[in-house]
Chain A
Amino acid sequence: MNSIIMSFKDVTFTYTPDDQSVRPAVADLSFSIEEGEWIALVGHNGSGKSTIAKLMNGLLFPQAGEVAAMNLTMSEESLWDIRSQMGMVFQNPDNQFVGATVQDDVAFALENNGVPHEEMVVRVKESLRQVKMEEFLDHEPHHLSGGQKQRVAIAGALALRPRLLILDEATSMLDPQGRMEVIETIRELREETGLTVISITHDLEEAALADRIIVMNAGRKHKEGTPEEVFLTGNELTTLGLDLPFAMRMTHLLREAGVQVLGEHMTEDELVEELWTFYSKK
């Protein structure tokens, strides 16, 4: 039996409670996420994704509705309990750094969580190794390249060994290989530990790998479902500021060019497979 690790019930949040003319950043939002799931949260710029992440870890509190995590209702009292089981990587890593060196920075949250010193040292090294930043232990986090900063921020979250990992566009500045490696590392961790992942992303190839996708539009949930269910809605997605994964776009372009591809393919390999069957039949 899976249990619910995170849920929103009729949540509404506005940054400007005094100004009714501004639409709430998040409105009447409900969903629940089971322990062990990989969720992709997608949506156009300004659709409310980062606000949701901040509501999830109690940086913001809703004006209406209820947020619950780890079987606790989010409140000033439960906040620390909840956060100690949660790793979060913010959209801009610079806003997240607190330590003077890379290793201090990664250690910071561990210290706060009362992890003993010897174990802390081990975990800091391990998580920096996982993101390939072990050579930068004594560098100042603000004086790194963009991708290096993102790697350090991810290490900081991994070191916590969280039950729930929230990534807010955490790999947006990594090179394609680096991005794949980080995603692979997190998938392995999930296999080993049953980690739950909520990944906010504009990378639809990455979203296609999730168990479930939640699509946001103007602060409201537009749709929720498996990648197949979401991407089969097709052109609707482009009106929401989104797009289809590459293989599906190619499938459509091929049809326009007169190649009668029958299936809707989410991966390159599936598409090549059909083209091959089709080609060799002729």
Chain B
Amino acid sequence: MDILLQEVGYSYAMNTPFEKRALHNVNIHIPSGSYTAIIGHTGSGKSTVLQHLNALLKPTEGSVVIGEQQVDAKTKGKHLRDIRRQVGIVFQFPEQQLFDETVLKDIMFGPLNYGVSEEEASRRAHELVEQLGLPADVLEKSPFDLSGGQMRRVAIAGVLAMEPDVLVLDEPTAGLDPKGRREIMDLFHELHVKKGLTTVLVTHSMEDAARYADQVAIMHQGKCVATGEPKDIFSNEEQLLDYRLEPPRTIRLQRKFEEKMGIKLDSISLTEEALAKNLALAFLEGREAE
């Protein structure tokens, strides 16, 4: 599903003494089937942008086009039900998402609410709990009697259970252990490919943005200041620094290596596997040159 933010401005607590401008003239196109990563410094407006993608926030200026539906400041709530079903958001803090008595009920809530049968909703919940690496006895527990990383996994399961067309992820790996982090990012990617999802990821991990995304957008002080392919965004180190960001570790290591050896590798290393390959190639060529 195509999503288009057109000249979007947003102020929190509009027309009160606490009014706070969070977005200015944001233009982002998220093509159907793409994997977009949004990066940016603390407070740059990433979560605010995300909440526009399922009309949880309505722009105070400009408009957002989500599939067929245009949303602006005046759009009425009843038109938004379909959008909420199609666009699933995993929030930055899992506690904001969990509410039901038990983990099972919590995960089943979304699907049931949109007319999925009891049986099917329960099947999805059981399957997801396993896929997300949660202990099986978690289903009957209260979602609030869990560790931080376990809550995160339940919150993710709740969104995946809705089988949305658009998957919106706000720092989904914060609080996950290193193994879970890799497995769950791989799971999102697998779903993205297999089900042709449109995926939007907000992350502070430049490594994840470089590995998974095909489009990267940079937010800075409430504006979207750059979009492009990961290889272009992450090789422009000056621009990253301007926005108080840095390249992924793989590129940092590549640069250190290049500087020390006085050579330049053929391509930029967006993943660890690519870096190992590029370095091995450099050694091989070095040997042949002798």
Contacts and interface: CB of A to CB of B under 8 A. Distances in A.
Interface of A: 15, 22, 43-46, 49-50, 91-92, 94-95, 140, 143-148, 151, 169, 172-179, 202, 204, 238, 241-243, 246-247, 249-250, 253-254, 256-259, 268-269, 271-272, 275-276, 278-280, 282
The secondary structure that dominates the A interface is helix
Interface in B234-290: 244-246, 249, 252-253, 256-257, 260-261, 272-273, 275-277, 279-280, 282-284, 286-287, 290
Contacts of B79: none
Contacts of B147: 45-46, 49-50
A256 B245 contact: no
Contacts of B283: 258-259, 278-279
A56 B255 CA distance: 43
A49 B40 CA distance: 30
B6 interface: no
A177 B245 contact: yes
Contacts of B148: 45, 50, 91-92, 169
B62 interface: no
Contacts of A246: 249, 253, 272
Determine the main DSSP class of B at the interface with A.
helix
Given A169-B175, A202-B175, A282 B260 contact: no
Interface string B176-208: 111111100000000000000000000010100
20 contacts: A45-B148, A45-B176, A169-B148, A173-B171, A173-B174, A176-B204, A178-B41, A178-B42, A238-B179, A241-B178, A243-B179, A253-B273, A254-B276, A256-B276, A257-B276, A269-B256, A275-B279, A276-B257, A279-B282, A279-B283
Interface residues of B, number: 57
Interface of B: 12-13, 18, 20, 40-43, 47, 92-93, 95, 135, 137, 145-150, 152-153, 171, 174-182, 204, 206, 244-246, 249, 252-253, 256-257, 260-261, 272-273, 275-277, 279-280, 282-284, 286-287, 290
Contacts of A151: 42
Contacts of B180: 44-45, 241
Closest 10 CB pairs of A and B: A45-B149, A147-B42, A243-B178, A253-B276, A257-B280, A241-B177, A241-B179, A257-B276, A46-B147, A145-B43
A15 B141 CA distance: 12
B178 A204 contact: yes
Contacts of A177: 41, 244-246
Interface centre among A178, A202, A238 (most CB of B within 10 A): A202
A250 B276 contact: yes
A95 B282 CA distance: 51
B277 A174 contact: no
A151 B42 CA distance: 10
A143 B12 contact: yes
Given A173-B204, A249-B272, A250-B272, A243 B182 contact: yes
A258 B286 CA distance: 14
Given A91-B175, A151-B42, A241-B180, 13 more contacts: A45-B152, A45-B176, A46-B149, A169-B174, A173-B92, A175-B41, A175-B245, A242-B179, A243-B178, A256-B276, A259-B279, A259-B280, A280-B261
B276 A272 contact: no
Contact of B244 (A148, A175, A279, A282): A175
A177 B41 CA distance: 8
A258 to B, nearest CB: 6
A238 B180 CA distance: 10
